[in-house]
Amino acid sequence: MRPLIAIPARFSASASALRHAAEVNARALVEAVWRAGGEPVSIHPAAGEVASRLKRFDGVLLPGGGDISPDRYGGAAHESVYDVDAIQDEFDLAVAGETVNSGKPLLAICRGLQVVNVALGGTLHTDAPGHRHVVHPVALSGTVAEITGVEKIDASCYHHQHIDTLGAGLDVTARAADGTVEAVELTGSAGWFVAVQWHPEDSAATDPAQQRLFDALVGQA
């Protein structure tokens, strides 16, 4: 039996295969979980019942997506903020908090990393351009280095918000050359947790180091 990996869906205004608005997850992300031996399951973002809904799953993957509302972390409004959705924010933050507290294995990617940071009381830079459509080398340490088996990795980035102040218990395990936090882990966590600011799914099909992040999640699950 493949371990069940919950992946919160993202709201989409349209999808080419559908006639109306959609709830989606990136195909590359889903395929990376499948290659790792997991059963990827998109879950509907809805308020309430988060703890009971997550009980049936063996692990959680918080994926990338639109921006978190600056209101969630005391940030200032900015014209660059996009695709903010109050229901999505509420659900993702609840999933992050519940998963961390329960000790269920959790891999967080891009927006997912930011969500965990905010859920743990941290803040974000509302806009820090220069990391969209960028692939740059990132030096790794800690758990993320152990998992990937490398000390430097090519990080595929598409974001403009990133960690400002760290959430409670988080330690930085990777930074970009300009100081941007690229990976964190949680000291004293009840369970397995890794978060990266880049998108490992972009090259996981051809780069074993990136795929090992998904393998580790499924292995822990």
* Count of Cβ atoms closer than 10 Å to residue 137 Cβ: 10
Mean pLDDT is highest, among 70-84, 105-119, 179-193, for 105-119
Of these residues, 20, 49, 110, 160, which one is catalytic? 110
Angle (deg, nearest 10), helices 86-102 and 111-119 = 70
Of these residues, 131, 160, 162, 199, which one is catalytic? 199
CATH of the domain at 209: 3.40.50.880
Asked if residue 134 lies in contact with residue 85, where contact means CB atoms within 8 angstroms, the answer is: no
Q: What is the DSSP string of 23-87?
A: EE--HHHHHHHHHTT-EEEEE---SS-HHHHHTT-SEEEE---SPPPGGGTTPPP-TT--S--HH
Number of domains in the chain: 1
Q: Respond yes or no: is residue 201 known to be catalytic.
A: yes
pLDDT given for residue 36 in this prediction: 98
108 DSSP β-pair partners: 62, 195
Q: Which stretch of 6-20, 104-118, 170-184 has the lowest confidence by average pLDDT?
A: 6-20
Q: What is the pLDDT of residues 39-84, one digit of tens each?
A: 999 999 998 899 999 999 999 999 998 889 999 989 777 766 766 7
Helices (H) and strands (E) in the chain, counts: 6, 13
Q: Which stretch of 35-39, 79-83, 96-100, 204-208 has the lowest confidence by average pLDDT?
A: 79-83
pLDDT given for residue 82 in this prediction: 66
Higher pLDDT, 13 or 84: 13
**Banded pLDDT at 118 (limits 50, 70, 90):** very high
H helix runs in 103-185, sequence order: 111-119, 142-148
pLDDT greater than 70 at residue 19: yes
pLDDT greater than 80 at residue 128: no
**Banded pLDDT at 94 (limits 50, 70, 90):** very high
Q: Which residues touch 40 (CB under 8 Å, ≥6 apart)?
A: 5, 7, 25, 29, 30, 33, 34, 61
**Banded pLDDT at 168 (limits 50, 70, 90):** very high
**How far apart, in Å, do the first and last CA atoms of the chain sit?**
12
Q: Respond yes or no: is residue 151 known to be catalytic.
A: no
Q: Respond yes or no: is residue 110 known to be catalytic.
A: yes
Higher pLDDT, 134 or 131: 134
Query: Once rounded to an integer, what is the mean pLDDT over residues 178-188?
Result: 92
Question: Which helix (H) or strand (E) element contains residue 92?
Answer: helix 86-102
Q: State how far the Cα of 216 lies from the Cα of 141, in Å rounded to an integer.
A: 16
The range of the structural domain enclosing residue 108 comes to: 4-220
Query: Once rounded to an integer, what is the mean pLDDT over residues 12-18?
Result: 80
Least Cα distance to 12 among 80, 85, 70, 74 occurs for 85
Asked if residue 133 lies in contact with residue 182, where contact means CB atoms within 8 angstroms, the answer is: no
